[in-house]
Structure 1
Amino acid sequence: MPFQPRVAILVPTPDYYEKWQPAFARKAAALTAVGLIVEQRVWTDPGDLSGYDLILPLFAWGYQRDVAVWYALLDRLESEALPVVNPVPVLRWNSDKAYLAELGAKGVAVVPTIEVAALDDAVLAAARAELDAEEVVIKPAISGGADGTHRIAAGAAVPADALGQRRLVQPLMPGILTEGEYSLFFFDGQFSHAIVKRPASGDFRVQEQFGG
């Protein structure tokens, strides 16, 4: 028999609320069609991964809700030198949106972002002034699926779930509401394609669970 590489795709826990199965099925079908053996492993408890030729954390959704477990998994993947795409240092760096400041310092055009250690109304007011923006968006630095992300109108108070928490504050970008949000896809350093994600009318979040 010809050699068939084994691929583990990391997936959410069974109780995760977002619908990931259709997207998984499409990706698994594409990989299977070219001769790969594809298996699911729940990212929070994936078991022995040493027998796989490639590990894809494509659906490790919900990591923002169990950050300690996520970072422990990354540490394990790195220490066991397992074949992960993207590499573990990239995954770790990309997990915390503090990377925006790093990119900005290197001249990359990023949304103006202020990181605060403990958000309250006074800190929010100061961030508004520094950003020169009445309407802002706040989000956790480690986030996904728009969890904990809020659009805050001029004069509105800090939402209860963000009070006293580490948060990023950004001006609301009007283009998100009118044009949408672009995602660019690169493979091996080469641009492949882009998609545009648009929010539902009256919302600013582009995720499917919010009507985007």
Structure 2
Amino acid sequence: MQKIGLVTCEKHPNGIPAEINLPNEFKEKGINAEFVVWSDASIDWKSYDNLIIRSTWDYYTREAEFRAWLKKIIELGVPLFNPPVVIFDNMHKFYLREFANAGIKIIPTIFSDEKDVIEKIEAKLWNKIVIKPAVSAGSYLTEVFEFRPENHLSILNKIKTGDWLIQPFLNEIEEGEISMIFFNKKFSHSIIKKPAEGDFRIQRQFGGLYQAYFPNEELLKIAANIVNHVTEPLLYARVDGLVINNEFHLMELEMIEPDLYFEFSEEYLNRYIEAYLEILK
């Protein structure tokens, strides 16, 4: 019987609530699956036929350790889904620049390694800006600034500490962030996430409201183009974005450890497992 490790973190050793039954679902397909914590030094990774990253929701706070773990998995020759090359690239959000250069609409973004950042923000006429780390998740270390002259030094001092994305505060977030989930590059389902009143963060821990969403054909075509821009095979991918002036703008293409919202339907989980079986053929 094939044995796979569902890679998680110390905070969720048995998986997140929506995925607790994942091992049982795999077992029904004749696969022995169990949750494994990526940072557990006692684990014999070579004992697994394959590894699937699920909820490594602390990787961005332990970046160096996580990168070392990925390199170890590569050296051991244990197949990882998504592939390590995808994970390495997706960890650092400057990948969005490459998408923009390829003609994909992204949220208006200034990258902190560009010259004359303050002048560029001024030229954009952004009165309110969001600054987020290039390696982060769940609004980690994300801050909102009023763009006034007295704040310029604080902004400059902040972005000198590492790699950052500077974006305008978009009122469209109140209408909801759209997440479109693909398994083996095929569309499965979609969710829209809205922030609590008076907040800009859509995550549940900040009071965000999640609802089923049904994208139209045009939106699905855009999302599929984004996913297919990645040439490597993908067991899973989540396209996150906002509709601005009637056009979809990519916020992130989540290919490491995104929530896949299995709690909305058991069918989504079944599609995920079927996609895993397909990708092995």
Residue equivalent to 1:79 = 75
Residue equivalent to 1:8 = 5
CA offsets per residue over residues 181-205 of structure 1, 9 Å max, x none?
1112122222222111111111111
Query: Does the C-alpha gap of structure 1 residues 163 and 190 become closer, same or farther in structure 2, counting only changes over 3 Å?
Result: closer
SS, match of residue 50 in structure 1: helix
Residue equivalent to 2:161 = 165
Q: What is the alpha-carbon distance in structure 2 between the residues aligned to residue 45 and residue 186 of structure 1?
A: 29
Q: Are positions 1:106 and 2:93 aligned together?
A: no
Give TM-score scaled by structure 1 length. Answer: 0.84
In structure 2, give the amino acid aligned to 1:8. Answer: G
Q: Are positions 1:211 and 2:204 aligned together?
A: no
Residue equivalent to 2:246 = none
Query: Which stretches of structure 1, 4 residues or longer, exceed 6 Å deviation after superposition?
Result: none
Residue equivalent to 1:65 = 61
Q: What is the alpha-carbon distance in structure 1 between the residues aligned to residue 189 and residue 18 of structure 2?
A: 18
Q: Are positions 1:30 and 2:25 aligned together?
A: yes
Q: Are positions 1:128 and 2:121 aligned together?
A: yes
Give TM-score scaled by structure 2 length. Answer: 0.64
Q: What is the alpha-carbon distance in structure 1 between the residues aligned to residue 124 and residue 31 of structure 2?
A: 49
SS, match of residue 39 in structure 1: strand
Q: Quick one: higher RCO (CA 8 Å, sep 6+), 1 or 2?
A: 2
Residue equivalent to 2:173 = 176
Residue equivalent to 1:90 = 86
- Contact 1:148-1:162 within 8 A present in 2 as well: no
- Contact 1:135-1:171 within 8 A present in 2 as well: yes
1:189-200 counterparts in 2 under 5 A? 189-200=185-196
Residue equivalent to 1:142 = 135
CA offsets per residue over residues 159-195 of structure 1, 9 Å max, x none?
7x94632211011222112x21111212222222211
- Contact 1:131-1:170 within 8 A present in 2 as well: no
Query: Does the C-alpha gap of structure 1 residues 126 and 197 become closer, same or farther in structure 2, counting only changes over 3 Å?
Result: same
Worse overlay, 161-170 or 188-197? 161-170
Query: Does the C-alpha gap of structure 1 residues 205 and 37 become closer, same or farther in structure 2, counting only changes over 3 Å?
Result: same
Structure 1, unpaired ranges of 5+: none
Q: What is the alpha-carbon distance in structure 1 between the residues aligned to residue 120 and residue 134 of structure 2?
A: 16
- Contact 2:16-2:55 within 8 A present in 1 as well: no
Between Structure 1 and Structure 2, the one with more strand by share is 2
- Contact 2:131-2:166 within 8 A present in 1 as well: yes
Q: What is the alpha-carbon distance in structure 1 between the residues aligned to residue 15 and residue 119 of structure 2?
A: 39
SS, match of residue 168 in structure 1: strand
How much is the aligned-residue C-alpha RMSD, in angstroms? 2.6
In structure 2, give the amino acid aligned to 1:136. Answer: I
User: How many residues of Structure 1 are paired with residues of Structure 2 in the alignment?
Assistant: 201
Query: Does the C-alpha gap of structure 1 residues 126 and 192 become closer, same or farther in structure 2, counting only changes over 3 Å?
Result: same
Residue equivalent to 1:56 = 52
Between Structure 1 and Structure 2, the one with more helix by share is 2
Structure 2, unpaired ranges of 5+: 209-281
- Contact 2:112-2:159 within 8 A present in 1 as well: no
Q: What is the alpha-carbon distance in structure 2 between the residues aligned to residue 209 and residue 82 of structure 1?
A: 34
Query: Does the C-alpha gap of structure 1 residues 87 and 12 become closer, same or farther in structure 2, counting only changes over 3 Å?
Result: same
